[in-house]
Amino acid sequence: MIKEGEKIPENISLQYMDGKKLKTVKSGELFKGKKTVMFAVPGAFTPTCSEQHLPGYVTYSYEIKKKGVDQIICLSVNDAFVMDAWAKDSDIVDEVRMIADGIGEFTRALGLNLDLTKFFLGERSMRYSMIIEDGTVTMLNLEKGGAFDVSKAELIVDAL
Protein backbone atom coordinates (compact mmCIF):
# COMPACT_ATOMS: atom_id res chain seq x y z
CA MET A 1 0.00 0.00 0.00
CA ILE A 2 1.28 3.45 -0.90
CA LYS A 3 2.48 5.56 2.01
CA GLU A 4 3.03 9.22 2.68
CA GLY A 5 6.31 10.34 1.12
CA GLU A 6 6.05 7.90 -1.79
CA LYS A 7 5.57 8.75 -5.47
CA ILE A 8 2.35 8.01 -7.33
CA PRO A 9 2.85 5.42 -10.11
CA GLU A 10 3.56 7.42 -13.28
CA ASN A 11 2.73 5.28 -16.28
CA ILE A 12 -0.86 4.16 -15.76
CA SER A 13 -3.63 5.26 -18.09
CA LEU A 14 -6.65 7.00 -16.59
CA GLN A 15 -9.62 8.45 -18.44
CA TYR A 16 -12.03 11.35 -18.29
CA MET A 17 -14.56 13.04 -20.52
CA ASP A 18 -13.78 16.39 -22.12
CA GLY A 19 -17.15 17.44 -23.40
CA LYS A 20 -18.16 14.53 -25.61
CA LYS A 21 -14.59 13.33 -26.16
CA LEU A 22 -13.02 10.50 -24.20
CA LYS A 23 -9.50 11.47 -23.11
CA THR A 24 -6.71 9.34 -21.71
CA VAL A 25 -3.98 10.70 -19.47
CA LYS A 26 -0.98 9.02 -17.86
CA SER A 27 -1.01 9.18 -14.09
CA GLY A 28 2.36 10.95 -13.94
CA GLU A 29 1.14 13.68 -16.27
CA LEU A 30 -2.02 14.17 -14.20
CA PHE A 31 -0.06 15.03 -11.05
CA LYS A 32 3.17 16.53 -12.40
CA GLY A 33 3.89 20.01 -11.09
CA LYS A 34 0.53 20.28 -9.32
CA LYS A 35 -0.76 20.28 -5.80
CA THR A 36 -3.71 17.90 -5.89
CA VAL A 37 -6.38 16.79 -3.48
CA MET A 38 -7.64 13.41 -4.60
CA PHE A 39 -10.37 11.38 -3.03
CA ALA A 40 -11.50 7.95 -4.09
CA VAL A 41 -14.85 6.30 -3.73
CA PRO A 42 -15.95 2.68 -4.07
CA GLY A 43 -18.47 3.56 -6.77
CA ALA A 44 -20.27 6.32 -8.60
CA PHE A 45 -23.96 6.72 -7.76
CA THR A 46 -23.63 4.72 -4.53
CA PRO A 47 -25.30 6.17 -1.41
CA THR A 48 -22.43 7.52 0.72
CA CYS A 49 -20.42 8.52 -2.34
CA SER A 50 -23.29 10.45 -3.94
CA GLU A 51 -24.94 11.86 -0.84
CA GLN A 52 -21.89 12.83 1.23
CA HIS A 53 -18.41 12.29 -0.18
CA LEU A 54 -18.63 13.97 -3.60
CA PRO A 55 -20.98 16.77 -2.47
CA GLY A 56 -18.59 17.65 0.35
CA TYR A 57 -15.73 18.25 -2.07
CA VAL A 58 -17.97 20.28 -4.37
CA THR A 59 -19.10 22.41 -1.41
CA TYR A 60 -15.56 22.95 -0.12
CA SER A 61 -13.86 23.24 -3.53
CA TYR A 62 -13.42 27.01 -3.31
CA GLU A 63 -11.84 26.81 0.16
CA ILE A 64 -9.56 23.96 -0.91
CA LYS A 65 -8.36 25.75 -4.03
CA LYS A 66 -7.94 29.01 -2.08
CA LYS A 67 -5.32 27.16 -0.01
CA GLY A 68 -3.10 26.60 -3.06
CA VAL A 69 -4.55 23.39 -4.48
CA ASP A 70 -4.44 23.25 -8.29
CA GLN A 71 -6.98 20.48 -8.75
CA ILE A 72 -9.43 18.28 -6.89
CA ILE A 73 -9.84 14.80 -8.32
CA CYS A 74 -12.54 12.26 -7.65
CA LEU A 75 -11.28 8.80 -8.61
CA SER A 76 -13.37 5.69 -8.95
CA VAL A 77 -13.06 2.26 -10.52
CA ASN A 78 -15.79 3.07 -13.02
CA ASP A 79 -15.61 3.99 -16.69
CA ALA A 80 -15.28 7.59 -17.87
CA PHE A 81 -18.85 7.63 -19.19
CA VAL A 82 -20.26 6.72 -15.78
CA MET A 83 -18.04 9.33 -14.10
CA ASP A 84 -19.25 11.94 -16.59
CA ALA A 85 -22.89 11.01 -16.00
CA TRP A 86 -22.30 11.21 -12.24
CA ALA A 87 -20.75 14.68 -12.62
CA LYS A 88 -23.75 15.85 -14.65
CA ASP A 89 -26.21 14.32 -12.19
CA SER A 90 -24.34 16.09 -9.36
CA ASP A 91 -24.32 19.46 -11.18
CA ILE A 92 -20.52 19.59 -11.23
CA VAL A 93 -19.13 22.21 -13.59
CA ASP A 94 -15.41 22.33 -12.87
CA GLU A 95 -15.14 22.09 -9.09
CA VAL A 96 -13.92 18.48 -9.20
CA ARG A 97 -12.23 16.50 -12.00
CA MET A 98 -13.92 13.14 -12.41
CA ILE A 99 -11.23 10.59 -13.24
CA ALA A 100 -11.99 6.99 -14.17
CA ASP A 101 -9.73 4.08 -13.29
CA GLY A 102 -11.76 1.83 -15.55
CA ILE A 103 -9.95 -1.45 -14.96
CA GLY A 104 -8.61 -0.62 -11.50
CA GLU A 105 -4.96 -0.69 -12.57
CA PHE A 106 -4.08 2.58 -10.81
CA THR A 107 -5.97 1.57 -7.67
CA ARG A 108 -4.18 -1.81 -7.55
CA ALA A 109 -0.80 -0.08 -8.11
CA LEU A 110 -1.53 2.09 -5.05
CA GLY A 111 -2.51 -1.03 -3.09
CA LEU A 112 -5.86 0.58 -2.29
CA ASN A 113 -8.11 -1.91 -4.07
CA LEU A 114 -11.09 -3.48 -2.36
CA ASP A 115 -12.82 -6.75 -3.24
CA LEU A 116 -16.57 -6.16 -3.20
CA THR A 117 -17.53 -9.19 -5.29
CA LYS A 118 -19.69 -10.56 -2.46
CA PHE A 119 -21.86 -7.47 -2.96
CA PHE A 120 -21.85 -7.92 -6.78
CA LEU A 121 -19.68 -4.80 -7.22
CA GLY A 122 -16.42 -6.46 -8.28
CA GLU A 123 -13.05 -4.97 -7.48
CA ARG A 124 -13.26 -1.32 -6.41
CA SER A 125 -11.28 1.33 -4.61
CA MET A 126 -11.10 1.80 -0.88
CA ARG A 127 -12.52 5.11 0.32
CA TYR A 128 -9.73 7.60 0.99
CA SER A 129 -8.46 11.10 0.47
CA MET A 130 -4.92 12.25 -0.15
CA ILE A 131 -2.86 15.31 -0.83
CA ILE A 132 -0.35 14.89 -3.64
CA GLU A 133 2.38 17.42 -4.35
CA ASP A 134 4.15 17.04 -7.71
CA GLY A 135 3.42 13.32 -7.73
CA THR A 136 4.36 12.62 -4.09
CA VAL A 137 1.76 11.67 -1.49
CA THR A 138 2.06 14.09 1.43
CA MET A 139 -1.09 12.97 3.26
CA LEU A 140 -3.21 9.82 3.09
CA ASN A 141 -6.49 9.44 4.96
CA LEU A 142 -7.72 5.87 4.57
CA GLU A 143 -11.17 4.87 5.77
CA LYS A 144 -11.68 1.63 7.69
CA GLY A 145 -14.40 -0.80 6.62
CA GLY A 146 -17.57 1.00 5.58
CA ALA A 147 -16.70 4.17 7.52
CA PHE A 148 -16.84 7.74 6.30
CA ASP A 149 -14.85 9.64 8.91
CA VAL A 150 -11.33 10.63 7.85
CA SER A 151 -11.64 11.35 4.12
CA LYS A 152 -14.16 14.20 4.34
CA ALA A 153 -13.54 17.46 2.51
CA GLU A 154 -13.71 19.58 5.65
CA LEU A 155 -10.82 17.59 7.15
CA ILE A 156 -8.73 18.26 4.04
CA VAL A 157 -9.48 21.97 4.38
CA ASP A 158 -8.20 21.87 7.96
CA ALA A 159 -5.08 19.91 6.93
CA LEU A 160 -4.08 22.31 4.17
The answer to whether residues 74 and 80 touch, using CB atoms and an 8 Å cutoff, is no
Report domain extents, the chain.
13-159
pLDDT digits (tens, 9 = 90+) for 15-72: 999 999 999 999 999 999 999 999 999 989 988 888 999 999 999 999 999 999 999 9
Asked if 49 is an active-site residue, the reply is yes
Residue range 9-13: average pLDDT?
97
For residue 138, give the amino acid letter: T
Higher pLDDT residue, 69 or 117?
69
| Close Cβ partners of 76 (under 8 Å, ≥ 6 residues apart) | 40, 41, 42, 43, 44, 49, 82, 83, 99, 100, 101, 124, 125
The per-residue pLDDT for 45 is: 92
pTM value is 0.95
The per-residue pLDDT for 96 is: 98
Of the chain, the end-to-end C-alpha distance in Å amounts to 23
The answer to whether residues 126 and 38 touch, using CB atoms and an 8 Å cutoff, is no
Separation of alpha carbons 152 and 7, rounded Å: 23
Strand pairing category for 113-115 and 123-125: antiparallel
Choose the catalytic residue: 49, 64, 69, 73: 49
Does position 116 have pLDDT exceeding 90, yes or no?
Answer: no
Residue 104 DSSP code = S
The per-residue pLDDT for 122 is: 64
Does position 14 have pLDDT exceeding 80, yes or no?
Answer: yes
Does position 101 have pLDDT exceeding 80, yes or no?
Answer: yes
Mean pLDDT, the chain, whole residue set: 95
Q: Which CATH superfamily is domain 13-159 in?
A: Glutaredoxin (3.40.30.10)
